[in-house]
Amino acid sequence: MASKKKFNPVRTPMPEQPADVRNKNFKEVALGYTREQAIEEANRCIQCKVPLCQKGCPVEIDIKSFVGHMAAGDVPSAYRVLKETNALPAVCGRVCPQESQCEGSCILGKKHEPVAIGRIERYVADTFDSDSACEMITGHTACSLPNDQVKVACIGSGPSSLTVAGYLAARGVPVTVYEALHEIGGVLVYGIPEFRLPKAVVAREVGALWAKGVTFLPNWVGGKTITIQDLIDDGFDAVFIGVGAGLPWFLNIPGENLVGVYSSNEYLTRINLGRAYDFPNYDTPAPRPRNVAVVGGGNVAMDAARTALRLGAENVYITYRRTQDEMPARLEELHHAIEEGVQLELLTSPIAINGDENSHVKSMTLQVMELGEPDDSGRRRPVAVEGKTKELEVDMVILAVGTGANPVLLEATPGLKLSERGYIDANPETGETSIPNVFAGGDIVGGSATVISAMGAGRKAAKTIAERLKVEL
């Protein structure tokens, strides 16, 4: 009996590649639990009467139940519970910021370390193997009959659309997903690097959706190859827009178009989607810098910096205008980056990028900052220390300063109401837009956020679509 054992206040550690080994390869950093470790960790869960963890999860996984099954060593049952609400558990177990979601709500975390819910989720999703796509998606061996009198289209194939497709496919609804790029998965394939989220993991989840009858059409650009009106004319009963926030922001400082200055989107797309880390075996070339500055303090900045190290850069700096405490990146990612050798240039903000005679980056001028009064976000506002600048010698700059709404689809969709910030104005409860039966969710509604919040939005929209189309469950 678990209750007779001495309670372990510390979570079972996750084995990982040593920092000085992994900073030279693109293999996954965190190696995952063994069965024994997963069972041991699951047994730390005290099975609260009123589980707070579930409320912390945007797709409301019945965490108590799946962890309970794992504690008993029953992986198939644990998997079924996960898949009831989460189309991509192998992804979420890896990339969710659990510390501010499920694990942040875990009651054990008040006095000790919270249960490592994400690591257990990952173990279950990686381990359960089924021949049945139906079981992969619904957790049940028998699927409902196809509701093929209705059909639904998704634009974009990122986490929110995959969730919509998974939810509706599990209820027998044929879903067609239109994707602009040549690979399915959105940010999961072009943004998050292989060393955090292996592409094979994404392909497995997508493969299960294919097998269940979801049709994926790559190279279809929403607003160009096909418009919302075309889809309505083609007889789709509902359309879900999940195109993300893919427009990179620049800083509008001098020297931004010099050779060697990249948006994080371009850098990561070349490396992840184009597999440029394996050039010339793959055809997409990648820059070969010696000293790199990454501007920004979010997860994308960490991904870009850690990628540059792996591609052989000698010095990789993260320049951030506040201090380490205010960084929006997950603590775990920041720690990983520092362990691997990324250097921090805190309280600095770039004011110019300087080039050589060939218009190639040779340095960046940084304004030195200090922290002032708290701003609207509650974080202390960075203020320039007048007259104090420093020069950072770099031959490449990656700007990871955020993204906005890409206008390509929006401009081609008259009648679609936008918010003041240029995102789609959708009902927060149902996901419905100003166009009837056209829904939207994820970053194109709320601005860049997390994989799991996009999935939460997809889940809400999918539920509304199912109700609206009177899909029999």
Partner 1 sequence: MSNKILQKKALIPGQTSLLVIEAPQIAKKAKPGNFVILRIHDKGERVPLTIADTDPEAGTITIVYLVVGKSSALLETLKEGEIILDVCGPLGKPTHIEKCGTVICVGGGTGIAAMHHIAKGHHKAGNHVVAIVGARSKDLLLFCDELGGFCPELLIATDDGSSGHKGFVTDVLRERLEKDKDVTEVVAIGPVPMMEAVANVTKPFGVRTVVSLNSIMVDGVGMCGACRCNVGGETRFACVDGPEFDGHKVDFNELRMRLAQYKNQENESMDLFRREHGE
Which positions lie near partner 1, rule CB under 8 A? 180-182, 218-221, 224-226, 246-248, 250, 252, 256-257, 259-260, 262-263, 265-266, 269-270, 274-275, 279-287, 358-359, 406-408
Complex with partner 1: residue 256 or 339, whichever CB lies closer: 256
Least distance from C-beta 151 to partner 1, angstroms? 18
Complex with partner 1: residue 150 or 401, whichever CB lies closer: 401
> Max alpha carbon distance in the chain (Å)?
73
Complex with partner 1: residue 125 or 401, whichever CB lies closer: 401
Least distance from C-beta 230 to partner 1, angstroms? 9
Least distance from C-beta 363 to partner 1, angstroms? 17
Q: Take residue 262 and report the two structure tokens written for it.
A: 């990249």
For 43, 438, 443, 447, the CA distances from 433, given in Å and listed in that order, are: 44, 6, 14, 16
- Cβ 311 vs Cβ 348: under 8 Å: no
Least distance from C-beta 269 to partner 1, angstroms? 6
Least distance from C-beta 48 to partner 1, angstroms? 43
Least distance from C-beta 411 to partner 1, angstroms? 9
Start-end of H helices in 72-116:
75-85, 89-95, 102-105
3 state DSSP class of 423: coil
The rounded distance, in Å, linking the Cα atoms of 310 and 289 is 12
Q: Take residue 304 and report the two structure tokens written for it.
A: 């870009």
Complex with partner 1: residue 283 or 325, whichever CB lies closer: 283
Complex with partner 1: residue 294 or 334, whichever CB lies closer: 294
Q: How many CB atoms are closer than 10 A to CB 194?
A: 20
The rounded distance, in Å, linking the Cα atoms of 235 and 360 is 52
Complex with partner 1: residue 7 or 250, whichever CB lies closer: 250
Q: Tell me the β-bridge partners of 399.
A: 263, 295
Q: Take residue 170 and report the two structure tokens written for it.
A: 């599990």
Bridge-based pairing of strands 348-355 and 361-374 is: antiparallel
Least distance from C-beta 281 to partner 1, angstroms? 7
Complex with partner 1: residue 141 or 359, whichever CB lies closer: 359
Counts for the chain of helices (H) and strands (E), in that order: 19, 15
Question: What DSSP state is assigned to residue 314?
Answer: S
Least distance from C-beta 315 to partner 1, angstroms? 21
For 169, 188, 226, 412, the CA distances from 152, given in Å and listed in that order, are: 10, 22, 15, 20
Least distance from C-beta 7 to partner 1, angstroms? 49
Q: Which of 303, 295, 217 is nearest to 268 (CA)?
A: 303
Structural element, H or E, at residue 349: strand 348-355
Complex with partner 1: residue 147 or 157, whichever CB lies closer: 157
Complex with partner 1: residue 51 or 287, whichever CB lies closer: 287
Burial (Cβ within 10 Å: 0-12, 13-18, ≥19) of residue 48: middle
